[in-house]
Amino acid sequence: MSLGSMPKDPDAVLPYSINWATEGSYVNDGTAADTGWLQGDTIVTSSWSFTGPDTALAIVSDSNNTVVATVVLSGGTHRRSYTVTNHVVLASGYEDDRSICVEVYQR
């Protein structure tokens, strides 16, 4: 499931987060009621990957709490788009993916 697109400058190092407790939302503050997909379940593990036209985008770091997964990205090529995917495993054993499109433009 794709959650939409997010802008990024090639020189910026920025966090991008997915709040799994609020269906279909990506946020940077990690606050939300559990009104979405989790319904009381919690994230046990989270991993990030990306696909794109080149390898200029880089995953600097990633972290998660029980409902929000965050990745910090650097780089990217001007006028290129990358699909950044978060894969989570929940305490219940369920697994799922969510993706965002990161569009890189020189600002």
pLDDT at 28 exceeding the cut of 50: no
Q: Domain 2-104 belongs to what topology?
A: Immunoglobulin-like (2.60.40)
Residue 26: per-residue pLDDT: 47
d(CA 69, CA 26): 9
Span 57-100, pLDDT tens digits: 999 999 999 999 999 999 999 999 999 999 999 999 999 999 99
Span 12-23, pLDDT tens digits: 999 999 999 885
Residue 85: per-residue pLDDT: 97
More confident residue, 28 or 22: 22
d(CA 69, CA 47): 8
13-51 burial, b at 16+ Cβ within 10 Å, e below that, comes to eeebbbbbbbeebbeeeeebebeebbeebbbeebebebe
| Residue 5 pLDDT level (bands cut at 50, 70, 90) | confident
Residue 24: per-residue pLDDT: 53
d(CA 17, CA 97): 13
Residue linked to tokens 């495993």: 89
Sheet with 68-75, side-by-side order of all strands: 13-19, 68-75, 57-64
